Structure 1
């Protein structure tokens, strides 16, 4: 599973917002698909650049991930390498393209889980939102972040809260 960081979480959030606000989405386009949209945020390459890099070698994201070699000098490997450096794993990316991570799926209600479609923009947004919550919780635990919360009834200390919302 991805190495949670504030930078990675922010990239996820920007991707979600862009998709919700009409960013181009096309599952068959290497720069505008599930991985492509997240890659745009992390790498700062455009969808056209990512697609152009991918077309220099054969295959979809899954095949590109299998062929990935960080020292190859192939432009698509540079894109993948930037994603890996940001904290994602090759498996994370393969699962994102298919909406298939067991860790993410476990957090999705079963009735919704079985209806996810890998090339449906709304399902991709939902999947990314769930994954973002997982990363946020992991990041909070990793950083041991806690805040004092005071409510009308009592003082509560050291409760972890969503500081990233």
Structure 2
């Protein structure tokens, strides 16, 4: 599961918002598919720029992620690095493209259900559930304010 990085959480939610606002979506387009939507938010590249970078190697995002090497610096690897830098793993990228992470699906409002990889509404729901799941995993440092300390001490007594 992805590292619960605040930038990743914000990017997942921003991608969901863009979809709700009607941004171009096409599961068969490297720059406008499920991963393409997240990459547009993270990199600020257009769908066309992402498509150009993705076409420097053969395959779909799931195959590209499996063969990702951050050392060579080819354009598609820069795109993958943008996702891994904010906490995604190749497995997360695969699951995002197919909306298939069981843990995310179990976190959907209303409980577990299978989603279709090429439905805008299903991608929106997946992105939001993924963001919520990661947000719940962020460990915050203990609060230092006295009001909170007093409330905790009062509840123990």
Q: Pick the TM interval, shorter chain.
A: 0.7 to 0.9
Indicate the residue corresponding to 2:119 in structure 1.
Answer: 120
Question: Unpaired segments of 5 or more residues in structure 1?
Answer: 149-154, 159-165
Q: Distance in 1 between matches of 2:7 and 2:62?
A: 24
Indicate the residue corresponding to 1:27 in structure 2.
Answer: 27
Question: Unpaired segments of 5 or more residues in structure 2?
Answer: none
Q: Which structure 2 residues correspond to residues 85-100 of structure 1 after superposition, within 5 A?
A: 85-100=85-100
Contact 2:62 2:90 in 1 (8 A): no
Q: Distance in 2 between matches of 1:12 and 1:156?
A: 34
- TM-score of the superposition, structure 1-length normalised? 0.82
Query: Cα offset for 1:51?
Result: 0.5
- TM-score of the superposition, structure 2-length normalised? 0.85
Q: Distance in 2 between matches of 1:82 and 1:137?
A: 23
Report the RMSD for the aligned CA atoms in angstroms. Answer: 2.2
Query: Cα offset for 1:40?
Result: 1.0
What SS does the corresponding residue of 1:31 show, helix, strand or coil? coil
Query: Cα offset for 1:67?
Result: 2.1
What SS does the corresponding residue of 1:143 show, helix, strand or coil? coil
Query: Cα offset for 1:145?
Result: 6.4
Query: Cα offset for 1:73?
Result: 2.2
Aligned residues: 148
Change in CA separation of 1:40 and 1:157 when aligned onto 2, cut-off 3 Å: farther
The structure showing larger relative contact order (alpha-carbon pairs under 8 Å, at least 6 residues apart) is: 2
Question: Comparing both structures, which one devotes a greater share of its residues to strand?
Answer: 1
Indicate the residue corresponding to 1:143 in structure 2.
Answer: 140
Q: Does residue 57 of the first structure (1) align with residue 62 of the second (2)?
A: no
